[in-house]
C-alpha cells in the first residue's frame, strides 16, 4: 500500500477530497455528541456531588479533565468509526464487487495504495482537528448546562477547569486521535478491499469494519493510557 | 501477440485450468467460448494479471507476465484496455471523468488534449452529449460503450472484453460486437473476448478457443466450428443455436 504514488497530484487531490468528506461530513455529528456529553457530564457530576464540603468549581475541573482525556478522543472516535469506518468499507467493498478495483489494477494502478492511502492520510490530519473541536464544544456544553441549570456559574466552571488543566492531557488526547485515525481507516479499508461476493457481503464488511475498529480503539485506549500516563 | 503456454490454475482440489496453451492473433478478435464455470473467466484474469496461474507462461511479445517485476507489469498493463462484464465504471466519476482517468494518471496531455481525446473516444463508440452524466444515469448498453471508450483512451495494444454482451438486448449486442471488431481492425489490436453468445461467435469469430472443463478442447475459425470433431463443442453449439 505504501508505494510511490503513480501521480502525486492526483493523490494530493484525492486526499483533500477525503479530508472534506471525513472532516466536514463529520462536523454535525461530532458537534451534537460533544455538546451533549459535556452537558450530561456536568449534570451527573453535580448529582453525585451533593455535599457542600466540595466546592462546585470541581465540576468544571472534572468535566474538562474527563473530556480532554477520554470523552472527546475516545467517544468521538467510536462514533467516527461508525460514520467514517462504515462509509469507507462500503465504498471500497462496492468497488471491489463491481470490478472497479480490478479495472484500476488492469490499468496498472496500485489499487490498495490509490484507495487507502488518501483516506488514511486525510484521517491522520482531520481526526485531531475534530477531536480539538470536540474538546472545546464539550467543555462549552458542560459550562452552558451548568449555568442554565443553575448548578454553577460559568466563572466557577472556568476556574475549576483552569485549576486542574495540564498541557500534556491535550497532547495525550491528540496522540490518541492520530492512533485512532489510523486504526479506523486502515481496518475499514482492509475490510472493504477484501470483500468478496455481492451486496450482502458489502454490508457484512461494513459491519465488521465498525466492530473491529471500535474494539481496537478501546484496546488502543487502554494501551496508550498504560504507556503514556 | 499474446501467447499462453501450459497454463494451470487450481482452487483447492478443483483444477480450473489444465495445460491451456493458445496463441492469440494480432489485429483480429480472438474469442474464448465455453459454458459457465468452464474456466474462461479465470483464464482471462490470469492473462491480465488479476490472478496468478499456478504454472505456465503468459507471454506479451515474448515477456512472461507471470514472472516479471511489479514495475514491469505496470508498463505492460498500460498497454492493456479491458471492458468488464458490468462496465466497471467508477461510480463517483462522470462519463467524461471515467475516460479522463487513465489520461490523468499516465499522460502529460494538456486539458484541451484530454478533452479532445475524450470526445474522440466517445464519438468512436457513437456516444454524444453524455460527458457530464454519471454511470448511474446511463443504460447498460451505454455503460459498455463508455467502458470501451475508456479502454481505448490510452491507445492500447491489447483489448480484453469479458462477456461484452451479457445483459444486453440482441440489437445492442450486435452494435457492441461490430464496434469491437471495427476498433480491433482500425487500431490493429490483439483483442480477446470471453463470450458464450454464439451470435457473436458467428459474426466476429475469426479465431475461437473452446474451453471445456478447464482444458482447451478446440481451436479454430467460425467456419469450422459446426464441423469440429469435439462432441462437447457440438453440443454447446447446438444448445446455443437451436
Find chain A residues with C-beta within 8 A of B101's C-beta.
Answer: 107
Nearest of A104, A131, A103, A96 to residue A22 by alpha carbon: A131
Find chain B residues with C-beta within 8 A of A8's C-beta.
Answer: none
The model carries a pTM of 0.88
The DSSP string of A93-154 is HHHHHTTHHHHHHHHT--HHHHHHHHHHHHHHHHHHHHHHHHHHHHHHHHHHHHHHTTSS-H
pLDDT average, residue stretch B127-142: 91
Instruction: Tell me how far CA of residue B164 lies from CA of A30, A75, A170, B88, B144, in angstroms.
Output: 46, 49, 57, 12, 7
Write the residue in A7, A10, A103 that is nearest to B84 by C-beta.
A103
B152 touches chain A (CB under 8 A): no
How many angstroms separate the CA atoms of A125 and A178, rounded?
Answer: 8
Beta carbons of B149 and B99 less than 8 angstroms apart: yes
CB contact under 8 A, B77 and A100: no
Write the residue in B50, B75, B102 that is nearest to A102 by C-beta.
B50
How many angstroms separate the CA atoms of B214 and B210, rounded?
Answer: 10
Residues 112-151 of B with CB under 8 A from A: none
Instruction: Determine the pLDDT at residue B141.
Output: 86
CB contact under 8 A, A95 and B91: yes
At A54, the pLDDT band (50, 70, 90 cuts) reads confident
Instruction: Determine the pLDDT at residue B171.
Output: 84
Write the residue in B74, B88, B90 that is nearest to A102 by C-beta.
B88
Nearest of B123, B194, B202 to residue B163 by alpha carbon: B194
Q: What angle do CA A217, A218, A222 make, to 5 degrees?
A: 115
pLDDT at A51 over 70: yes
Sign (positive or negative) of CA dihedral A20, A23, A199, A115: positive
Q: What percent of chain B has pLDDT over 70?
A: 99
Nearest C-alpha of chain B: how many angstroms from A84? 17
Averaged pLDDT score across all residues of chain A = 93
At A2, the pLDDT band (50, 70, 90 cuts) reads low
Q: Identify the residue among A87, A100, A199 best suited for mutation to test binding to B, counting B beta carbons within 10 A and taking the highest.
A: A100
Find chain A residues with C-beta within 8 A of B73's C-beta.
Answer: 108
What DSSP character marks residue B79? T
- pLDDT tens, position by position, B78-110: 899 999 988 899 999 999 999 999 999 888 899
B176 touches chain A (CB under 8 A): no
Residues 24-53 of B with CB under 8 A from A: 48-50
Task: Tell me which of B102-106, B157-161, B219-223 is least confident.
Answer: B219-223
Q: Is the ipTM of this complex over 0.90?
A: no
How many angstroms separate the CA atoms of A57 and A60, rounded?
Answer: 5
Write the residue in A94, A99, A108 that is nearest to B84 by C-beta.
A99
Find chain B residues with C-beta within 8 A of A109's C-beta.
Answer: 105
Cell for B125? 463508440
Give Cβ neighbours of residue B135 (< 8 Å, ≥ 6 apart): B87, B89, B90, B91, B93, B95, B98, B143, B146
Phi, psi at residue B238, to the nearest 5°?
Answer: -65, -40
Beta carbons of B168 and B144 less than 8 angstroms apart: yes
B105 touches chain A (CB under 8 A): yes
Instruction: Determine the pLDDT at residue A3.
Output: 67
- pLDDT tens, position by position, B169-187: 888 888 888 888 988 988 8
pLDDT average, residue stretch B106-135: 91
For B120-138, give one letter per residue: b (16+ CB within 10 A) or e: ebbebbebeebbeeebeeb
Residue B44: how many CA atoms within 13 Å on its side-chain side? 30
Find chain B residues with C-beta within 8 A of A10's C-beta.
Answer: 104-105
What DSSP character marks residue B25? P
Nearest of A106, A104, A134, A131 to residue A117 by alpha carbon: A104
How many angstroms separate the CA atoms of B144 and B166, rounded?
Answer: 10
How many angstroms separate the CA atoms of B95 and B101, rounded?
Answer: 10
A28 touches chain B (CB under 8 A): no
CB contact under 8 A, A7 and B105: yes
Cell for B36? 459457465
For B12-27, give one letter per residue: b (16+ CB within 10 A) or e: eeebbbbebebebebe
Amino acid at each position: 500500500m505504501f508505494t510511490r504514488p503513480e501521480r502525486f497530484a492526483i493523490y494530493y487531490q484525492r486526499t483533500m477530497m477525503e479530508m472534506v468528506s471525513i472532516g466536514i461530513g463529520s462536523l454535525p455529528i461530532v458537534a451534537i455528541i460533544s455538546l451533549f456529553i459535556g452537558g450530561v457530564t456536568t449534570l451527573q457530576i453535580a448529582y453525585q456531588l451533593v455535599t457542600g464540603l466540595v466546592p462546585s468549581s470541581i465540576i468544571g475541573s472534572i468535566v474538562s479533565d474527563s473530556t480532554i482525556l477520554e470523552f472527546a478522543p475516545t467517544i468521538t472516535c467510536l462514533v467516527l468509526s461508525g460514520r467514517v469506518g462504515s462509509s469507507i468499507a462500503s465504498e471500497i467493498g462496492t468497488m471491489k464487487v463491481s470490478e472497479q478495483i480490478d479495472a484500476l489494477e488492469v490499468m496498472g494502478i496500485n489499487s490498495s495504495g490509490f484507495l487507502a492511502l488518501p483516506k488514511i492520510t486525510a484521517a491522520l490530519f482531520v481526526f485531531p482537528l475534530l477531536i480539538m473541536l470536540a474538546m472545546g464544544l464539550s467543555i462549552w456544553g458542560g459550562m452552558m448546562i451548568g449555568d442554565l441549570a443553575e448548578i454553577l456559574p460559568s466563572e466557577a466552571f472556568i476556574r475549576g477547569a483552569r485549576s486542574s488543566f495540564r498541557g500534556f492531557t491535550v497532547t495525550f488526547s491528540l496522540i490518541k486521535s492520530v492512533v485512532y485515525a489510523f486504526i479506523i481507516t486502515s481496518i475499514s479499508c482492509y475490510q472493504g478491499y477484501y470483500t468478496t461476493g455481492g451486496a450482502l457481503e458489502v454490508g457484512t464488511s461494513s459491519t465488521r469494519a465498525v466492530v473491529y475498529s471500535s474494539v481496537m480503539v478501546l484496546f488502543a485506549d487502554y494501551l496508550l493510557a498504560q504507556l503514556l500516563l | 501477440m499474446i501467447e499462453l503456454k501450459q497454463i494451470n490454475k487450481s482452487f483447492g482440489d478443483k483444477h480450473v485450468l489444465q495445460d491451456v496453451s493458445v496463441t492469440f492473433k494480432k489485429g483480429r478478435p480472438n474469442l474464448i467460448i465455453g459454458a459457465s464455470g468452464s474456466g474462461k473467466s479465470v483464464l482471462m484474469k490470469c492473462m491480465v494479471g488479476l490472478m496468478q496461474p499456478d504454472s505456465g507462461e503468459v507471454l506479451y511479445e515474448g515477456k512472461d507476465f507471470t514472472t516479471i517485476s511489479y514495475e514491469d507489469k505496470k508498463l505492460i498493463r498500460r498497454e492493456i484496455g479491458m471492458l468488464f462484464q458490468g462496465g466497471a465504471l467508477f461510480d463517483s466519476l462522470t462519463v467524461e471523468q471515467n475516460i479522463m482517468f487513465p489520461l490523468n494518471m499516465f499522460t502529460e496531455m494538456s486539458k484541451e488534449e484530454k478533452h479532445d481525446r475524450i470526445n474522440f473516444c466517445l464519438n468512436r463508440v457513437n456516444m454524444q452529449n453524455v460527458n457530464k452524466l454519471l454511470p448511474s444515469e446511463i443504460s447498460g448498453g451505454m455503460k459498455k460503450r463508455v467502458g470501451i471508450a475508456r479502454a481505448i483512451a490510452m491507445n492500447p495494444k491489447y483489448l480484453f472484453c469479458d462477456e461484452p454482451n451479457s445483459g444486453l438486448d440482441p440489437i445492442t449486442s450486435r452494435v457492441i460486437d461490430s464496434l469491437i471488431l471495427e476498433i480491433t481492425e482500425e487500431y490493429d489490436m490483439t483483442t480477446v473476448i470471453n463470450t458464450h453468445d454464439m451470435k457473436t461467435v458467428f459474426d466476429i469469430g475469426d479465431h475461437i478457443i473452446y474451453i471445456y472443463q478447464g482444458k482447451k478442447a478446440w481451436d479454430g475459425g467460425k467456419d469450422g466450428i459446426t464441423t469440429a470433431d469435439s462432441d462437447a463443442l457440438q453440443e454447446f453449439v447446438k444448445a446455443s443455436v437451436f
